[in-house]
Every structure is written in C-alpha cells, then in structure tokens.
C-alpha cells in the first residue's frame, strides 16, 4: 500500500506502468490486416527481385553490338522475328543481327542484351530502323538487382506501411507475423452517469469519458471498445471486469479513484491486492490506479473528471499501448513554443494545461491557453490541440518564455 501522503513522480509511475507491460505475443495476419503494425519476423525473399531479366521499356530487344553504327541519318535496320509480351511464360531466343518487339516487363529473349525504346526507332513490324546505338544492358532490369534471392526483405520490427506491404506481396507473402493491436476495453464508473442520448435528469451527467478514451485508444493503435457504464457499486464493477477479462488485453476505468465515500473502483480493486492506488505529482490526474487482474491483464484506473482522464491516458495509457504494439518510441513528439500568456503552476506538481499551438510565420511555434486549469472543462479541452507541460519546479511562466508542448495530432487510422 502506498503512503497516502507521499506523491509519486510522473516518471516513477510511468516506470511502474511500463515495467508491468510487455509487447503483445505475435500472431499471423493477412497482409491488409497488418497495416500499421510491426513485423515480428525476419522476412527473406526466396526469389530474386526482379525474378528474371526483363525490359524496362516498350521497344526492341537487340544485341547492342548490332546497333553500333546506327545514326539518326543512317539508321541500322534489323529484321523483327517476333513479339515478347509481359506475362510470356517461356523465354524466347534470338540470333545475332535480329530484333524482337518487346513490352515493358516482358522477359528478355536469350541472345539480346539491350532494349531500344520505341521512340528511337521507326516502330516497324517486319523490320525496324534503329536511329542510335544501344549500350549493352540499356533498358534491361536485371534479375536480383532490387533484392537477391535468399536475402532479407524486411527485418523484424519493421513498421508495415503501404510500401512495406507492397514489398511483402512482391516476395509472395500473403500473411505475416506481427504484433497485433491490443484489445482495450473502456469502462466508465459513476452512479451519476447516463448513457449518451438519454436525457439526463437533474444531477445526471452523460458519460463522455468512455467515448473520449475509446477514441484515444484507437488513435494510439489499439482495437478499442466501450463497455458502457457501471454505477458506484462493488459487485457490479467486479462482475463486469470478470466477464470481460478474457476479451481484453488492457482494461481502462474512469472515476471512483479519489478519496470520496463512493469511490468504489479504489475500494473494490484495492482489496484484490494486485492493483495499486497512488497519488501522482501531476495536475490534473493526481489519483491513479494501475495493476493487473488475474495476474496478467493490465488495468488502468483513471480519475473521472474528463480532462483528468484524457491527460492520464496521454501520460500513462498511450505509451503502454505503444509498448504492447512493440513500438520502441513510446512518447509523442514534443516541441518548444513561446507562451503567449502568463501561466502559473503549483510547485511540486507537473502541470498539463490545454493549449492552442500556433505556427509562426518565422517557422517557430507559439502557444496560448485553451481555458482555465479546471479538469471539468470539456469545451476548452475540445478547443485545444496540445498539452502544455509545466515542470514540477516551475511556478510561473512569463509571457514570451519558452514552454514544452505536446501536440495532440490526429492520426488517420
């Protein structure tokens, strides 16, 4: 049990979280389901790429020596002894002093060592006039020039974007071993919450957190879903968690982790002994719970105020999801920006303020505050595009001073 009065630093708590999480076990997925994931095997190409010598142009396959004397005003004329199209299933052959009409991607005939592009010829069918000499190897794509047979196409850990999926298809892989998306389940707790769309009566609040955090988890790369709302009731919460344990790789709850009489998440899960509730030196997001259920499923118990829950997600859950995905860089990029307003901060706490980041015409950044510090301010949160980080030892940022900013860029997942 953590000492109720001692605050744990953000970095220490993040170490605890990341120490309790490893990368997902690899699974095999069809190529298009692997988009955005990390490869979990070395992929070698059995065949060379390209697999056979082929033409880079539409033109005529020739022996370069036969075109040596060709000039625009004195072309060399060669008999055309056939056509080779892309997809030709056998290798054609050609004797000296002859030419074959050839299409882009078609296999080079045996006996030819260069292709003269159509535009340097008269495009003849029975005989072709060639207006300049070809170099040996010109317009020929060599077998294995892109990738030799048996060599590595992609290394384990490679991120699979469109280009990498194209290469995997080129080497004949329709399924690959990857780190899958973790299944994240988001549960909102609070007896005051109503399902969105239902008209709240006095004292009720629509459940916003589960939408916000499910979206944030998807954005971080997870396969996320909402489990709806549970009231402030021990057995209701424990029953829901138990029923979902086999269907989730990560559980996220919001609400019920403060010191109030009805903070049921903290009460119910503390008793299990595998979830630790601490106070972290940050604002918002001071009360945090993290641990494991059934010895293996990580659970994050985030505070209920919407801004607190999103900031807590950004600080602890997003890096954890990235670790599960097998990523090495767990943190969002940060930028330095000039504060346009004074910002004050409580000593000893790392403060995350919502901000609007602007790109200056000079190329640098400036940032203004989006609303006050209150962690209930969802409209201000929605107007922001970044978090402004004020370190523990800073109590005042004067206007014009540089601050650290985490842009909350939307991914295109």
Which residues bind to ligand AMP, rule: CB under 6 A? 188, 190, 192-193, 205, 207-210, 254-256, 258, 260, 303-306
Helix (H) / strand (E) containing 359: strand 350-359
Rounded to a whole number of angstroms, the minimum distance from the CB of residue 312 to ligand AMP is 11
Q: From the list Mg ion, ligand AMP, none, pick the one residue 380 interacts with, judged by a Cβ distance below 5 to 8 Å according to partner type.
A: none
Query: Is residue 190 a contact residue for Mg ion (CB under 5 A)?
Result: yes
Beta-strand ranges (E) seen in 246-308 are 250-254, 275-279, 282-283, 287-293, 297-302
Rounded to a whole number of angstroms, the minimum distance from the CB of residue 321 to ligand AMP is 20
Beta-strand ranges (E) seen in 233-339 are 250-254, 275-279, 282-283, 287-293, 297-302, 335-339
Q: How many CA atoms lie within 13 A of 368 on its CB side?
A: 8
Residue carrying the six token digits 């602007």: 358
CA distances from 338 to 187, 259, 335, 358 (A): 38, 37, 10, 10
Task: Give the three-class secondary structure for 61.
Answer: strand
Calpha distance 289→351 (Å, rounded): 19
| Helix, strand, coil tally for the chain in percent (to 5) | 20, 35, 45
Query: Is residue 306 a contact residue for Mg ion (CB under 5 A)?
Result: no
The smaller minimum CB distance to ligand AMP, of residues 95 and 260, is found at: 260
Task: Give the three-class secondary structure for 118.
Answer: helix
Rounded to a whole number of angstroms, the minimum distance from the CB of residue 214 to ligand AMP is 11
Rounded to a whole number of angstroms, the minimum distance from the CB of residue 197 to ligand AMP is 14
Q: From the list Mg ion, ligand AMP, none, pick the one residue 16 interacts with, judged by a Cβ distance below 5 to 8 Å according to partner type.
A: none
Select the residue whose beta carbon is closest to ligand AMP and give its number: 304
Rounded to a whole number of angstroms, the minimum distance from the CB of residue 255 to Mg ion is 4
Rounded to a whole number of angstroms, the minimum distance from the CB of residue 153 to Mg ion is 52
Q: From the list Mg ion, ligand AMP, none, pick the one residue 45 interacts with, judged by a Cβ distance below 5 to 8 Å according to partner type.
A: none
**DSSP structure class, residue 196:** T
Query: Is residue 255 a contact residue for Mg ion (CB under 5 A)?
Result: yes
Residues contacting Mg ion: total by CB under 5 A: 4
Q: How many CA atoms lie within 13 A of 57 on its CB side?
A: 17
The smaller minimum CB distance to ligand AMP, of residues 187 and 397, is found at: 187
Neighbours of 220 (CB within 10 A): 25
Query: Is residue 107 a contact residue for Mg ion (CB under 5 A)?
Result: no
The smaller minimum CB distance to Mg ion, of residues 230 and 388, is found at: 230
Q: Which of 156, 140, 173 is nearest to 37 (CA)?
A: 156
Interface region with Mg ion, contact rule CB under 5 A, candidates 56-64, 176-184, 190-198, 242-250? 190-198
Q: From the list Mg ion, ligand AMP, none, pick the one residue 188 interacts with, judged by a Cβ distance below 5 to 8 Å according to partner type.
A: ligand AMP
The smaller minimum CB distance to ligand AMP, of residues 225 and 332, is found at: 225
Interface region with Mg ion, contact rule CB under 5 A, candidates 1-9, 96-104, 129-137, 251-259? 251-259
**DSSP structure class, residue 270:** H
Rounded to a whole number of angstroms, the minimum distance from the CB of residue 39 to ligand AMP is 37
Calpha distance 351→339 (Å, rounded): 15
Q: From the list ligand AMP, Mg ion, none, pick the one residue 306 interacts with, judged by a Cβ distance below 5 to 8 Å according to partner type.
A: ligand AMP
The smaller minimum CB distance to Mg ion, of residues 253 and 366, is found at: 253
Question: Which residues of the shown chain bind Mg ion in the complex (CB under 5 A)?
Answer: 190, 255-256, 304
């Amino acid at each position: 049990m953590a000492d109720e009065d001692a605050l744990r630093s953000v970095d220490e708590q993040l170490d605890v979280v990341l120490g309790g999480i490893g990368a997902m076990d690899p699974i095999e997925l069809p190529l298009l389901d692997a988009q955005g994931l990390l490869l979990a095997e070395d992929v070698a190409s059995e065949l060379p790429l390209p697999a056979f010598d082929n033409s880079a142009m539409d033109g005529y396959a020739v022996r370069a020596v036969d075109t040596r004397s060709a000039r625009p005003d004195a072309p060399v004329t060669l008999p055309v002894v056939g056509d080779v199209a892309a997809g030709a299933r056998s290798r054609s052959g050609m004797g000296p002093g002859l030419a074959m009409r050839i299409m882009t991607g078609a296999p080079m005939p045996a006996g030819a060592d260069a292709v003269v592009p159509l535009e340097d010829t008269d495009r003849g069918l029975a005989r072709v006039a060639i207006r300049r000499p070809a170099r040996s190897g010109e317009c020929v794509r060599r077998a294995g020039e892109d990738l030799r047979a048996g060599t590595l196409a992609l290394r384990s850990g490679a991120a699979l974007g469109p280009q990498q999926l194209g290469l995997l298809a080129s080497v004949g892989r329709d399924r690959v071993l990857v780190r899958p998306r973790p299944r994240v389940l988001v549960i909102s707790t609070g007896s005051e919450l109503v399902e969105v769309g239902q008209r709240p009566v006095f004292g009720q609040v629509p459940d916003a957190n589960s939408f916000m955090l499910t979206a944030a988890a998807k954005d971080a790369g997870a396969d996320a879903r909402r489990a709806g709302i549970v009231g402030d009731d021990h057995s209701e919460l424990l029953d829901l968690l138990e029923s979902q344990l086999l269907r989730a790789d990560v559980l996220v709850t919001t609400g019920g982790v403060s010191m109030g009489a009805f903070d049921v998440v903290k009460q119910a899960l503390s008793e299990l002994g595998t979830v630790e509730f601490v106070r972290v030196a940050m604002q918002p997001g001071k009360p945090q719970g993290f641990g494991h259920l059934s010895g293996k499923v990580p659970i994050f118990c985030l505070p209920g105020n919407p801004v607190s829950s999103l900031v807590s997600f950004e600080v602890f859950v997003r890096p954890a999801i990235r670790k599960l995905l097998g990523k090495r860089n767990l943190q969002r990029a940060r930028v330095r920006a000039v504060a346009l307003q004074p910002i004050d901060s409580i000593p000893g706490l790392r403060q995350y303020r919502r901000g609007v980041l602007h790109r200056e015409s000079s190329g640098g950044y400036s940032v203004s505050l989006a609303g006050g510090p209150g962690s209930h301010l969802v409209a201000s949160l929605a107007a922001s595009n970044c978090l402004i980080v004020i370190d523990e030892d800073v109590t005042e940022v004067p206007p014009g001073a540089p601050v650290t900013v985490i842009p909350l860029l939307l991914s295109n997942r």
